[in-house]
Amino acid sequence: MSYLPDLRGASRSIRADLGVLYRLALPTEYGGQKGSLVIRFRADLDLPGTQAIEAPSGFAVGQRFTVRAVAEKRHADESGKNRVRAVLDEEAHGWAADLLERHGLGVSELTVSPRWFVGRRGGRSFMLRDLTGTISNISEAGESAYRQGIGRGKAYGYGMPLVL
């Protein structure tokens, strides 16, 4: 069963092609409900069986927001092979500010959570951090960050910003 429409093989990445963001919220997390797992969707289409919630349609200066981001740095080595490493604690604040700036958001009062590991070694896994801040300015690229997400791992439920 899928909440997304059947594109009859026209897409290999239906979530990205339809512009759907989602985030899983545990009962103790922001947006969670006692005794339930909550999946929050942001999409331009009606998904059957879902409940609409009040949320802004985009970012505005002065809003406080949070985003769960994949905290990894990528680079190519001498042979051209891509290498990935976790963002270290001492570089986390600068990395987070750069990530948000690349997505068109100037942020003040930025806080970065400690990192944690999700997944299995040898399989698909991520180092994650929660970023929380207040928007101080929005560039043209920042207008789309609310709808398109921030950072990597969006197919796994990361990168969807939530206004607090």
Which residue, among 18, 31, 55, has the nearest Cα to 155 in the 3D structure? 18
Residue 68: exposed, middle, or buried by beta-carbon count in 10 A (0-12, 13-18, 19+)? Answer: buried
Instruction: Give yes or no for a contact between 83 and 77, defined as CB atoms under 8 angstroms apart.
Output: yes
Rounded Cα distance, 127 and 115, in Å: 6
Question: What percentage of the chain carries pLDDT values higher than 70?
Answer: 87
**12: pLDDT confidence band, cut at 50, 70 and 90?**
low
Look at domain 55-163 and name its CATH class. alpha beta
Q: Which residues contact 92 (CB under 8 A, 6 or more apart)?
A: 71, 112, 115, 129
Residue 3 has pLDDT above 70, yes or no: no
Q: Is the pLDDT of residue 21 over 70?
A: yes
Banded model confidence at residue 157, pLDDT cuts 50, 70, 90: confident
Higher pLDDT, 129 or 76: 129
96 by DSSP, 3-state: which? Answer: helix
pLDDT score of 124 more than 60: yes
In terms of Cα–Cα distance, which of 112, 72, 109, 117 is closest to 96?
112
Give residue limits of the domains in the chain.
55-163
Model confidence pLDDT, tens digit, residues 91-113: 999 999 999 999 999 999 999 99
Amino acid at 86: A
| Residue whose pair of structure tokens reads 């879902």 in the numeric block | 50
pLDDT value at residue 1: 44
pLDDT at 8 over 80: no
In whole angstroms, what is the distance from residue 147 CA to residue 6 CA?
22
Q: Residue 91, Cα to own-chain centre: how many angstroms?
A: 20
